[in-house]
Amino acid sequence: MNHSIRFSLLLAGICLGLYFWKENPDLRKTIYSEPSIRVKIDGAVAKPGVYELEAGSNGWDLVGAAGGLLPEARKSMEDSNLDKTLEDGQILILGKR
């Protein structure tokens, strides 16, 4: 195969790839994002349960997904851990429900 045909095919492939990349932003998220994590929250939140969050989420993200803290939620020393990054399979128990 001569060089000009190879170059043309390569250029066409690159253009097609860039078009596909531009038209499918979810592909970029899939390629560059870490897998999601599943975490459980129980206690003084509106909707306790298991949630799937993006990797790198913290306890406050989980509280938000669970509908927020209940008005009678009692702040304790354990709640200060809400700023820490969550790990897959982790369980958070907040105050009393």
> Per-residue pLDDT tens for 13-40?
887 777 776 666 666 555 556 789 999 9
Residue 86: CB atoms within 10 A of its CB come to 24
Q: Which helix (H) or strand (E) holds 37?
A: strand 37-43
pLDDT tier at 77, thresholds 50, 70, 90: very low
Q: Would you give the DSSP letter of residue 5?
A: H
Instruction: Please report, in angstroms and rounded to a whole number, the separation of the first and last CA atoms in the chain.
Output: 73
Q: What is the reported pTM?
A: 0.62
How far, rounded to the nearest angstrom, does the alpha carbon of residue 60 sit from its chain's CA centroid?
Answer: 13
Strand 49-53 relative to strand 37-43, pairing: antiparallel
Question: Residue 91's pLDDT band (boundaries 50, 70, 90)?
Answer: very high
